[in-house]
Amino acid sequence: MSASTGRLLALIRTLGETTRAELASTAGLARSTVATQLGQLLSDDLITEGGTAQSTGGRPATLIRFNESAGVVLVADLGATHSRLAVCDFGATPLITEPIEMDIGIGPDAALDRLGEVWERLLAATGKTAADVRGIGLGVPGPVEFAAGRAVHPPIMPGWDGFEIGTELTRRYGVPGLVDNDVNIMALGERSAMIDAPNDMVFVKVGTGIGSGLILGGRIHRGATGTAGDIGHVQIATDGTPCRCGNVGCLEAAAGGAALARELTAAGLDASQSRDVVDLVRSGERFAIHAVRRAGRVIGEALASIVNLLNPTLIVVGGDLAGAGEQLIAGIREVIYQRSTALATHVLEIRTSKLGDHAGVVGAAMMALDRILDPAAVDAALERSG
């Protein structure tokens, strides 16, 4: 197994730029075995060979790289009303992206039809064809049973409960279709863009509602039924504020974008959604700044418990409200450092998302690529292509 061609490709992806000699010594393989496997990867266009490395003497060695242009994946980060679609290369880099307005309540068939139309147009704009598409990655705003690619009791996705999204994508496109919760893919995307990616991190999405994606030991932690990280419905206040989930005192009912927009509207300001709240904060509106700082402290209370429980090295805050930047983060930081143990906060970094609106599509691409480029999948594909 350790000698498989798929494993050699995984090693090349990890190393970035390498040489035959380095591959042989790192993988512990004979040069002749490496040569045979590289031949297979070259003939399938999965790697490129060219240019030379700085040599420490003797003949300069030819460089080997993973071919990020070997294919594309079609991805989408679906929200309740706003979604973002993209065509990404094998490096998870978006070649083209497009935001669309779509009510997810139209149900899976109509929604997937719409995605198909947009993907077809985007694909054509990149000069690629359906034959270049090797996988589909989709993030949805609700809990997902990952292995089955199925939404499970999603509260804001009427008509999607139990629908086998992954299977339907595979049926439509003839390639692997992967589906996960939107915050999980954002966590994955953010992590993939880091050079020294931490093994333990929390991605908090503060938008209309609040959710989090947990990466523990380098892997997404989904929990028994796919709802792990659902921090928005942790009880935080005892003031009896009703939440859309039916409970009272939930974090998102106190500090989510919808709650803030309502609070500002009640104070006579013009705010119907998270982005309006951010615009008011950026324009220096004092009541809005005060409300967002308070929301930050409330979110910090919930995160302080997460920090004590999971001991992450990084908390990334994303979602529309992260656009309020320091005004939101300051409150979060303040309470986490007050409430969490010194040992847990010693190495903790808290910052806003670097990928912003693109975290979801990059993560959806990573999710699909992890499946397509899994060593066993690569070996099976090479076997088929002979």
Residues that bind Zn ion (CB under 5 A): 233, 243, 245, 247, 250
**Cα 286 off chain centre by:** 33
In the bound state with Zn ion, the residue whose beta carbon lies nearer, of 134 and 233, is 233
- As measured in angstroms, the least distance from the Cβ of 90 to Zn ion is 39
Instruction: Report in angstroms how near the CB of residue 208 gets to Zn ion at its nearest.
Output: 13
Q: Which long-range contacts (CB under 8 A, 24 or more apart) does 49-56 make?
A: 53/17, 53/19
Q: Quick one: 12 or 298, whose CB is closer to Zn ion?
A: 298
CB of 255 to Zn ion, least distance (A): 12
Q: Which residue number, 245 or 355, has a Cβ lying nearer to Zn ion?
A: 245
Nearer to Zn ion, 250 or 361 (CB): 250
Quick one: 15 or 152, whose CB is closer to Zn ion? 152
Residue 150 or residue 233: which is nearer to Zn ion going by CB? 233
CA atoms of 257 and 379, how far apart (whole Å): 46
Contact 353/64 with Cβ under 8 angstroms?
no
CB of 311 to Zn ion, least distance (A): 26
Q: Is the dihedral of CA 281, 277, 320, 197 positive or negative?
A: positive
CB 335 within 8 A of CB 301: yes
CB of 245 to Zn ion, least distance (A): 3
Distance of closest approach, residue 40 Cβ to Zn ion, in angstroms: 52
- Measured from the CB atom, is 87 or 236 closer to Zn ion? 236
Within 10 angstroms of residue 114's Cβ, the number of other Cβ atoms is 16
Kindly state the smallest distance separating residue 295's Cβ from Zn ion, in Å: 15
Of 230 and 276, the one with the shorter C-beta distance to Zn ion is 230
Q: CB of residue 315 vs Zn ion: minimum separation in angstroms?
A: 21
Nearest approach in angstroms of CB 154 to Zn ion is 14
Which lies closer to Zn ion via its Cβ, residue 72 or residue 243?
243
Using the minimum distance from each CB to Zn ion, give the nearer residue, 52 or 225: 225
Closest approach of Zn ion to the CB of residue 294, in Å? 19
Paired strand residues for 18: 64
